[in-house]
Amino acid sequence: MLIHGPGSGTLVTAPLGSPETGFAGKITVKKWFTTVRTVMNLYFGAVGGSYIQNEELILLGNAAARLRHAQIKADSERIKKINVSVPPDSMLFTTANSWIDLSHSDLVRGSVQVFDDGEDQRCLIEGIDYEMDYKNGKIRRIQAQGSPGTAAGAGAGSGSGIAQLAAKVVVEQTVVVHYSYYSDYLKDVDYYVNYRDGHISRVSTSSIQVGEKVNVDYETETNIDSVVIETAIDQAHTYIMQRIPVSLEGSISMGLRYAETYFALSYLALSSARDMLEARRNDEVEAAAEAMMKLAQQYDEKAWEFLSHFANDSVTRSSGGRRLKNLSWRNW
């Protein structure tokens, strides 16, 4: 059997009741320098699982509208619309500086306007006069903190003394708050979603109006699984062992570990670029595929920086590290 390493070992047993408990066997161990976990962490950190917020989409009839990305993580989507608070909220600011609940939560950033309800209708400034909790729909006044000062009273007549005492002024201010907020639509009630292709469509009885613009939050996920990563590492290992002394296989050298890791990442980036082009061929995807191929080239070059210290004298960078130079999806 062939065992891919490194690992703690494999226990081989005979069937229950066999007359022999031992037998001759040949085990070949391919001692990888890197691990699936190492490659997975670096790859997903660079290209996997991104979170998109407030992508605008217009739903026409029951036709499917396409998001900018495919491979949507199941149940990560949120389809929502923007509502304006009518009438605006009116409330009393006091020196207590406590949070005050607005009528709605999940506010649209940048939509809040607070006016002094006095004769001047002065617009207050966020960060100076008040602060916001957009997620929970709360507002509170900002007021400088400090101990009260002293106040001097005027004399009532000749010979009267001056009385001094601590004074604290309580200031109340009525304000009017204008803002917009989000409300959600329901999956399978208002819309359908195709997670693989990244399509959203209206349900015929939806409360989403035909031609209405909605905002979409969602999370993407990579289609690279552990089997693909294992294959990439195996390819990288084979490539490296053709260029270094056999005696180095199984070495715990960090240089070889990084070389194998970056070669595997290069193969994965190329695989992702192919998947992008096969899933959907348009300008945005082509640009993303070009970016992935450039990333593959960078990984390849980084791998050779580590491998060059171990490669046989007959192996030069020109035989391996430059093979991805000027790679383009148009050449495929």
Number of domains in the chain: 3
Question: pTM higher than 0.85, yes or no?
Answer: no
Residues 171 and 207 in one domain: no
Per-residue confidence (pLDDT) for residue 69, from 0 to 100: 77
Three-class DSSP category at 168: coil
Domain housing 188: 51-83+184-219
Per-residue confidence (pLDDT) for residue 12, from 0 to 100: 57
**Per-position pLDDT tens, the chain of length 332:** 344 554 445 555 655 655 555 556 555 566 889 988 788 777 765 555 567 889 999 998 888 999 887 778 899 999 999 999 999 999 988 766 789 999 999 999 999 999 988 656 788 999 999 999 999 999 999 875 444 444 444 445 555 555 555 555 556 788 999 999 999 999 999 999 999 888 999 999 999 999 999 999 998 876 566 788 889 999 999 999 999 998 888 788 899 999 999 999 999 888 877 776 665 545 566 777 788 888 899 999 999 999 998 887 555 444 444 455 554 444 44
Strands (E), 117-166: 130-133, 138-141, 150-152, 164-166
Q: Taking Cα atoms as reference points, which of 85, 70, 52, 81 lies closest to residue 190?
A: 81
The answer as to whether 18 is a domain residue is no
Residues 193 and 68 in one domain: yes
Residues 113 and 241 in one domain: no
The answer as to whether 154 is a domain residue is no
Residues 212 and 73 in one domain: yes
106: left (phi over 0), alpha (psi -120 to 50) or beta: left
Residues 70 and 122 in one domain: no
b/e map 23-38, b = 16+ CB within 10 Å: eeeeeebbbbbbbbeb
Per-residue confidence (pLDDT) for residue 93, from 0 to 100: 85
Per-residue confidence (pLDDT) for residue 259, from 0 to 100: 94
Residues 273 and 243 in one domain: yes
The answer as to whether 159 is a domain residue is no
CA–CA separation, 11 vs 9, rounded Å?
A: 7
